[in-house]
Structure 1
Amino acid sequence: MTNISNQTLNKSVSLPTYDRSRLKSRIVHLGFGAFHRAHQGLFTDEVALKSESDWGICEVNLFGGEALITSLREQDHLYTVAEKGAESTDVKVIGAVTESLHPELDGVGAVIEKMAEPQVAIVSMTITEKGYCADPATGRLDKNNPLVVADLAEPTAPKSALGYIVQALKVRRDRGLAPFTVMSCDNVQENGHVAKAAILEFARLQDEELGAWIEANVTFPCTMVDRIVPAATKETLDEITELIGVEDPCGIACEPFRQWVIEDNFVADRPDWSIAGAEFVADVVPYEEMKLRMLNGSHSFLAYLGYLGGYAHISDTMTDEGYRKAAFDMMMKAQAPSLNMPAGTDLEAYATLLINRFTNPSLKHQTWQIAMDGSQKIPQRMGGSLKHHLEQGSEFKWLAAGIAGWMRYVSGVDEKGSDIDVRDPMAASLREVCESHGVNVSVVPALLSIEAIFPVEIGLNPIVIDAVSSAYQSLIDNGAKATVASL
Structure 2
Amino acid sequence: MKLNRQQLSRLGGAVALPAYTPDMIRTGIAHIGVGGFHRAHQAVYTDALMNQGLALDWGICGVGVRSEDRTMRDALAGQDYLYTLVELGDEPNLPIRVIGAINDMLLAEESPQALIDKLADPAIRIVSLTITEGGYCIDDSSGEFLAELPAIQHDLRHPDAPRSVFGFLCAALARRRAAGIPAFTLMSCDNLPHNGAVTRKALLAFAHLADQELASWIDQHVSFPNAMVDRITPMTSAAHRQQLAAQHGVEDAWPVVCEPFVQWVLEDKFVSGRPAWEEVGVQFTDDVTPYEEMKIKLLNGSHLALTYLGFLKGYRFVHETMNDPLMRQYVRSFMDLDVTPQLAPVPGIDLTTYKDTLIERFSNQAIADQLERVCSDGSSKFPKFIVPTLHRLLADGKPLDRVALVVAAWALYLKGEDESGARYRIPDPRAEHCQALVADDAQLTARVLGEEAIFGSAPGRSLEFVAAFERCLTSLRERGVSQTLHNLLHA
TMscore range, shorter length: over 0.9
Q: Deviations over 1:308-364 (max 9, x none)?
A: 011110000111111111111111111111111235632111110000001111011
- SS in structure 2 opposite 1:104? coil
Measured in 1, the distance between the counterparts of 2:166 and 2:186 equals: 10
- 1:236 is aligned, of 240, 249, 252, to 240
- SS in structure 2 opposite 1:246? coil
Partner of 1:184: 188
Partner of 2:34: 32
- 1:22 is aligned, of 21, 24, 33, to 24
Measured in 1, the distance between the counterparts of 2:280 and 2:464 equals: 46
The question of whether the paired residues in 1 share the 8 Å contact of 2:314 and 2:420 is answered with no
Q: Given the alignment of the two structures, is residue 99 of structure 1 paired with residue 111 of structure 2, yes or no?
A: no
The correspondence of residues 418-457 of structure 1 with structure 2, limited to 5 A, is: 418-437=422-441, 442-457=443-458
Q: Given the alignment of the two structures, is residue 59 of structure 1 paired with residue 50 of structure 2, yes or no?
A: no
The correspondence of residues 121-270 of structure 1 with structure 2, limited to 5 A, is: 121-270=125-274
Unpaired segments ≥5 residues, structure 2: none
- Structure 1 counterpart of 2:322, one-letter code: M
The question of whether the paired residues in 2 share the 8 Å contact of 1:80 and 1:252 is answered with yes
Measured in 1, the distance between the counterparts of 2:342 and 2:378 equals: 21
- SS in structure 2 opposite 1:453? helix
Q: Given the alignment of the two structures, is residue 355 of structure 1 paired with residue 359 of structure 2, yes or no?
A: yes
Measured in 1, the distance between the counterparts of 2:274 and 2:367 equals: 32
- Structure 2 counterpart of 1:33, one-letter code: G
Partner of 1:45: 47
Unpaired segments ≥5 residues, structure 1: none
- SS in structure 1 opposite 2:147? coil
Q: Deviations over 1:190-223 (max 9, x none)?
A: 1111111111000110111111111111111111
* TM-aligned CA deviation for residue 3 of structure 1: 4.4
Q: Given the alignment of the two structures, is residue 459 of structure 1 paired with residue 460 of structure 2, yes or no?
A: yes
Q: Given the alignment of the two structures, is residue 2 of structure 1 paired with residue 4 of structure 2, yes or no?
A: yes
- SS in structure 2 opposite 1:324? helix
Change (3 A) 1:240 1:322: same
Q: Deviations over 1:150-196 (max 9, x none)?
A: 11121111111111111111111111100000000001111111111
The question of whether the paired residues in 2 share the 8 Å contact of 1:3 and 1:75 is answered with yes
- Structure 2 counterpart of 1:160, one-letter code: S
Measured in 2, the distance between the counterparts of 1:340 and 1:192 equals: 20
- SS in structure 2 opposite 1:452? helix
The question of whether the paired residues in 2 share the 8 Å contact of 1:230 and 1:364 is answered with yes
Change (3 A) 1:162 1:389: same
* TM-aligned CA deviation for residue 46 of structure 1: 0.5
- SS in structure 2 opposite 1:224? strand
Instruction: Tell me the TM-score normalized by structure 2.
Output: 0.95
The question of whether the paired residues in 1 share the 8 Å contact of 2:44 and 2:99 is answered with yes
Tell me the matched-pair count: 483
* TM-aligned CA deviation for residue 414 of structure 1: 2.5
The question of whether the paired residues in 1 share the 8 Å contact of 2:108 and 2:163 is answered with no
Q: Deviations over 1:362-399 (max 9, x none)?
A: 01111111111111111111112212222222223221
Moved more, 166-175 or 235-244: 235-244
Q: Deviations over 1:25-57 (max 9, x none)?
A: 100000110100000010110011124322110
The question of whether the paired residues in 1 share the 8 Å contact of 2:379 and 2:434 is answered with no
The question of whether the paired residues in 2 share the 8 Å contact of 1:139 and 1:194 is answered with no
Measured in 2, the distance between the counterparts of 1:483 and 1:306 equals: 13
Measured in 2, the distance between the counterparts of 1:344 and 1:256 equals: 20
Partner of 1:477: 478
Measured in 1, the distance between the counterparts of 2:8 and 2:187 equals: 35
Partner of 1:339: 343
* TM-aligned CA deviation for residue 10 of structure 1: 4.5
Q: Deviations over 1:426-478 (max 9, x none)?
A: 221222221122xx6x5123201111011112332111111111111111011
Measured in 2, the distance between the counterparts of 1:344 and 1:177 equals: 39
* TM-aligned CA deviation for residue 4 of structure 1: 4.8
Measured in 1, the distance between the counterparts of 2:421 and 2:54 equals: 58
- SS in structure 2 opposite 1:69? helix
Measured in 1, the distance between the counterparts of 2:274 and 2:247 equals: 33
Moved more, 232-241 or 163-172: 232-241
Change (3 A) 1:143 1:265: same
Instruction: Tell me the TM-score normalized by structure 1.
Output: 0.96
Partner of 1:120: 124
The question of whether the paired residues in 2 share the 8 Å contact of 1:30 and 1:59 is answered with yes
- SS in structure 2 opposite 1:253? strand
- Structure 1 counterpart of 2:97, one-letter code: K
Q: Given the alignment of the two structures, is residue 371 of structure 1 paired with residue 372 of structure 2, yes or no?
A: no
The question of whether the paired residues in 2 share the 8 Å contact of 1:86 and 1:362 is answered with yes
Measured in 2, the distance between the counterparts of 1:484 and 1:47 equals: 47
The question of whether the paired residues in 1 share the 8 Å contact of 2:313 and 2:481 is answered with yes
